[in-house]
Amino acid sequence: MKNKPLLSICIPTRNRADVLEKCLNSIVNDQAFNDDVEVVVSDNCSEDNTQDLVKSYTECFENVKYFRNAENIGVCRNIEQVLNVAQGEFLKLNNDYSVFNEGALKFLVDTVKNNIVEKPVLYFHQNQNLKNDIYEVIESFDLFLKKEGWSTSWIGSYGYWENDFQEFDDRCRREKRFFVIIDWFIRSFKKKRKIICCNKNLTTRYPFREKQGGYNFIEIHTRNFIEQYENLVKEGLLKESSIEYVKRVSLLPSMIQWAVKLKLANKGKFSYDSQKSFEIIKREFGYYSWYRKDFIKHLIQTVLSVIKREYIMQIVLKILHREGGGK
C-alpha cells in the first residue's frame, strides 16, 4: 500500500481461528476491498492456529496486517493495541466473530469519505430502522443514550478517527472497569458534541467453539457499564432521568434475560461467573419504585421464553424425529 488507507478494520482476537476465517473472507472477497481499506488483526497470544491462518491472508494481501502479542495482555489492552497500530484515517472496530454483510464495506468507506473533513463522532447502530434515514445526526447525549441503551456495550458499534485516538492520554484508564471503548467514545463526544448514528446492519455474528466469558457478566454489565454514564451526569452532560430510562427500558430486562439464560439454558456455551446475579440486579435497580413490578414481569416473560425455546422445542423435535422414522 503506497498511500495512507482511508479505513482500518481493526480486529482484536484470541483463540477464534474458526470464526476469524469467516470474518476475513467476508472482507477480502468484497468488491469494495481495495487500497482504501486495510485489515489489522491483533492476536492476543492465541494457542490455536490463528497465526498460520492470518499468515495465509497477509501473504496474499498487502493491506492485511497481523500483530501478535508475546503474552496475553487482556481484552482491553488488546483492543487498544489494534487501534494503535492501525494506519487508516478512521479506525473501525470489528469482532472476530462478526462477518460482513453484503454492501457493508462500501457503506463504511462511503461514510468515512463523506465525513473526513468534519470528522464527527460516528456510531454504528446494528439494526437498521427503516423509519429513519440511514444517517441520523444526534447532538444530545440524552437522546443518544435513550436510543441506544445497553447496545452501547458492544465493541462492533465503535470506531474512532485516527488523529483523535492518538490524542487520547491514559487510554486504558478504564481497563479495570472493562469498558474502555465507551470511555473513548465519551471523550470524542465531549470534544465534538455531535454524533452521526449510522443505522445499518453491517455484520452477522457467528457462534464460536471457545466458551465466552471468564468474568461476572451481570456485575460488569450493570455497575461497570452504567458507571461510565453516571460520570456524565455529574458533569452536566446527561440527565439522571436518562440513566433511569436506560436502566428500566434496556438494562434491567437484558440483565434478567442473561441471568436466567446462564442459570437455566447455558448448556456449556458460556463460562461467565453468574454467582449472585439476582442480588446484583436488586442492588443496582431495587431502589426504584418500579423495580418490583418490572422485575416480576420480565422474569416471567424470560422464563416462559426459555422454556418454550429450550424445552418445548426439544420435545417437538423429538416427536418429529420419531414420526420421521428417526431419519
Tell me the pLDDT band of 304, cut-offs 50, 70 and 90: confident
pLDDT-derived band at 200 (thresholds 50, 70, 90) equals confident
234-to-228, 231, 238, 239, 243 alpha-carbon distances in Å: 11, 5, 8, 9, 12
- 159 by DSSP, 3-state: which? strand
What's the pLDDT score for residue 274?
Answer: 78
Tell me which of 19-28, 83-92, 198-207 is least confident. Answer: 198-207
Q: Are 259 and 281 in contact (CB under 8 A)?
A: yes
End-to-end Cα separation, the chain, in angstroms: 54
Say which residues have a Cβ less than 8 Å from residue 197's Cβ, sequence separation at least 6: 123, 125, 135, 136, 137, 138, 144, 147, 148
In this predicted structure, the answer to whether residue 154 has a pLDDT above a threshold of 80 is yes
- Set of cell numbers at residue 19: 470464526
How high is the pLDDT of residue 327? Answer: 47
Question: What pLDDT does residue 184 have?
Answer: 95
Confidence of residue 272 (pLDDT cuts 50, 70, 90): confident
Rounded mean pLDDT, 122-132? 71
* pLDDT top residue among 312 and 22: 22
pLDDT category at 295 given cuts 50, 70, 90 is very high
d(CA 251, CA 150): 6
Cell reading at 287: 431502589
Q: Sheet harboring 121-125: ordered strands across?
A: 121-125, 195-199, 135-138
CA separation for the pair 306, 286 (Å, rounded): 24
Distance CA 108, CA 7 (A): 8
User: What residues does each domain of the chain span?
Assistant: 7-205, 213-320
CA separation for the pair 53, 66 (Å, rounded) = 10
CA distance linking residue 179 with residue 155, whole number of Å = 9
The predicted pLDDT at position 315 comes to 61
pTM: 0.88
Kindly state the average pLDDT of the residues 205-230.
80
277-290: average pLDDT? 95
Does the pLDDT value for residue 266 go beyond 80? no
Q: Which residues, 6 or more positions from 207, have their beta carbon under 8 angstroms from its beta carbon?
A: 19, 97
Given a cut of 90, whether residue 270 has pLDDT beyond it is no
Q: Does domain 7-205 have CATH number 1.10.10.10?
A: no
Separation of CA 34 from chain center: 25
pLDDT in tens, 57-108: 999 999 999 999 999 988 889 999 999 999 999 999 999 899 999 999 999 9
More confident residue, 289 or 132: 289
Q: Please give the mean pLDDT across all residues of the chain.
A: 88
**Res. 128: pLDDT tops 60:** no
CA-to-CA separations, 34 to 2, 6, 105, 110, 207, in angstroms, rounded: 12, 10, 10, 13, 28
- The closest alpha carbon to 180, from 188, 19, 23, 259, belongs to 188
Least confident of 50-64, 117-131, 252-266: 117-131
Is the model more confident about 143 or about 274?
143
